[in-house]
Amino acid sequence: MIIVTGGTGFIGSNLVAALEERGADEIVICDVLGTEEKWRNIAKREIRDIVHPDRLFDYLERHVDDVDVIFHMGAISSTTERDADLIAQTNIVLSRRLWKWAGNNKKRFIYASSASTYGDGKQGFADEQEIEALAKLKPLNAYGWSKHVFDRRVARVLSDGKEPVPAQWAGLKFFNVYGPNEYHKEDHMSVICKLYPQIAAGASAKLFKSHSKDYENGGQLRDFIYVKDCVNIMLWLYDNKDVNGLFNVGTGKAQSFKELAEAGFKAVGKEPKISYIDMPETLREKYQYFTQADMDKLRNAGYKDAFMDLEAGVKDYVTNYMATEDPYR
C-alpha cells in the first residue's frame, strides 16, 4: 500500500498518476477535497481509498502491516498565507507525527520540502542536511519557515539518535515546478499556467518589471522544473530503498521569465509579445531574483536521468494539456 498525502494536489496527483501507470493498484490518497475542483486531478485514477487528514492515523493503525511507503506531499503551500498557526499545524505538526509513525513502524517516508527554505539565496542553494548548515538559512515567508523547521528537526533527530528513524527517508526541496493539474492553485499557479490564456488569445504576456538594478525586466531567474521530472525523482527513490537524504529537486539551470514566456509563444506558434507591469509592493522585499538548484548531491546518489529543458517542458504542457479539451493528467 502506498499512501500519498496531498494526493489530489498538484505534485501529489501527478505522482498518483505515475504510480498507477507503472502498475501500482493499492494507492491511498489522504487529502481535503473541499469545494475546489481538485477532484478532477484524480478523476482518471483507480485508487483504493481517500482518507481525510483527521482520520489518517486511525487508518494507518488499521493497515499498519500493509503500508509500504508514505509520500507526504500534503501542505499549506501558499507563500502568501498569513495564518501561521494553520501553517504550523499542517506543515510542521502533521509532518512530525507522520515521521514518528514511520519511524516507530519501520516504514519508508518521502516528504516535500521546498526551495523557499533558502530564502534570498545569499547562502547558496546546496542541499546540505547538517544542523549547522541548515541553521544559516533564512526563509522569507511562513511557508518556507515551516518547511525549514521540519528539515531542521529531521537533522536533529538523525544527529541525536534518540528516536526511531523511518526505514527510508528523503526530503525533497522542490524548486519552481510547473505542469498539469495545478489549475486549482489560482494565484499560486506557475507563471506559464497564468500566461497561457494571454498567449493563446494573441495578447501580450504580462511579466513583472524588475526592481533590482542587477536584473533587466523579465530577466529574473528561476530554476524551472517540469512536474514529470519531479515525479521521476520520486519514483527513483521508491525503487532505491537505500537512498536517504535531503535533496534539491530542480534542473540545475536557471532561466529567465522572459525565456519562459518565449517558450509559451513558441509552443503555440506565435511571435512573442511581452509587456511588463509593476510588481506589487508587498512582494518586493520578499522577492527572489535568482534560484538555481545544486544537483550534485542527487547525481552523486545515483540519479542519472536527464531533465526536460524549459522549451520542451512548456511545449509538452501546452500542447498535451492546456491546449486540449481535457487538460488533466
For 29-87, the DSSP string reads EE---TTSSGGGGGTT---SEEE-GGGHHHHHHHTTTT--EEEE------TT---HHHH
* Judgement on whether residues 65 and 126 belong to the same structural domain of the protein: yes
95-107 pLDDT per residue, tens: 999 999 999 999 9
Q: d(Cα 126, Cα 298) in Å, to the nearest integer?
A: 11
Which DSSP helix (H) or strand (E) runs through 221? strand 221-222
> CA dist 15 to 52, 161, 278, 291, Å?
19, 31, 36, 24
Q: Is residue 328 part of a domain?
A: no
Q: d(Cα 204, Cα 276) in Å, to the nearest integer?
A: 9
* Judgement on whether residues 230 and 247 belong to the same structural domain of the protein: yes
* Judgement on whether residues 217 and 126 belong to the same structural domain of the protein: no
115-155 pLDDT per residue, tens: 999 998 999 999 999 999 999 999 989 999 999 999 999 99
53-110 pLDDT per residue, tens: 999 999 999 999 999 999 999 987 766 667 888 889 889 999 999 999 999 999 999 9
* Judgement on whether residues 33 and 170 belong to the same structural domain of the protein: yes
Q: d(Cα 271, Cα 151) in Å, to the nearest integer?
A: 44
* Judgement on whether residues 155 and 165 belong to the same structural domain of the protein: yes
* Judgement on whether residues 25 and 165 belong to the same structural domain of the protein: yes
* Judgement on whether residues 117 and 201 belong to the same structural domain of the protein: no
- Average of per-residue pLDDT across 25-31: 96
CA dihedral 60, 74, 233, 253 (to 10 degrees): -160
Of 111, 118, 143, 238, catalytic? 143
Q: What is the predicted pLDDT for the residue at 250?
A: 98
Q: Percent of the chain beyond pLDDT 90?
A: 88
Q: d(Cα 60, Cα 39) in Å, to the nearest integer?
A: 22
* Judgement on whether residues 194 and 206 belong to the same structural domain of the protein: yes
Q: What is the predicted pLDDT for the residue at 284?
A: 83
34 confidence band (pLDDT: 50, 70, 90): confident
The whole domain housing 236 covers 2-177+224-252+292-308
Q: d(Cα 244, Cα 258) in Å, to the nearest integer?
A: 36
CA count, 13 A, side-chain hemisphere, 92: 17
User: Measuring CA to CA, which residue among 249, 263, 326, 260 is closest to residue 294?
Assistant: 249
3-state SS track over 137-194:
CCCCCHHHHHHHHHHHHHHHHHHHCCCCCCCEEEEEEECEEECCCCHHHHHHCCHHHH
Residue 328 CB-density burial (10 A; 0-12 exposed, 13-18 middle, 19+ buried): middle
Max Cα–Cα distance, the chain, nearest Å: 60
- pLDDT higher at 304 or 85: 304
Q: d(Cα 70, Cα 34) in Å, to the nearest integer?
A: 22
Q: Is residue 57 part of a domain?
A: yes
Q: What is the predicted pLDDT for the residue at 80?
A: 65
152-204 pLDDT per residue, tens: 999 999 999 989 999 999 999 999 999 999 999 988 899 999 999 999 999 99
Catalytic residue check, 143: yes
Of 100, 138, 185, 194, catalytic? 185
Question: Can you give the CATH number for the domain in which 149 is found?
Answer: 3.40.50.720
pTM of the model: 0.95
How many domains does the chain divide into? 2
